[in-house]
Structure 1
Amino acid sequence: MPLVLADTLEFSDRVTPGLLGFLVIAAIAVALYFIMRSMRRQFAKIDFEEQQDDRA
């Protein structure tokens, strides 16, 4: 009987991320997309004119 259990446990030590891991990575990707889109809009609002330094 121990040999049969050893054969069945041989492949049970493999760990995969599965569906939960995929969903977490997908949620992070979607959040990153919206954050980058918001940041692009905020940068577009900035009106920056560089002032020249006359101390030279």
Structure 2
Amino acid sequence: MNSNGVVYRCNKSCPIGKRCFILKTAVTLKEPITVWHKCVAKKEDIPVTIGGKPPP
């Protein structure tokens, strides 16, 4: 994969104002999927739904 691609970031409300990197793909995900992400602010795994639409 080259430097082009689709970057997905956390779309949850963040208490410290971050938009954490989740995943980079070569193409846009056509179907929404839920991934578990280690939240820096909450110090726990949170479910984040990505794909199905252009990333925020």
* TM category, shorter: under 0.3
Larger radius of gyration, structure 1 or 2? Answer: 1
Report 1 or 2 for greater relative contact order, CA contacts < 8 Å, sequence distance ≥ 6: 2
Greater strand fraction, Structure 1 or Structure 2: 2
Q: Give the structure with the higher percent helix.
A: 1
TM-score when scaled to structure 2? 0.17
Give the TM-score, by structure 1 length: 0.17
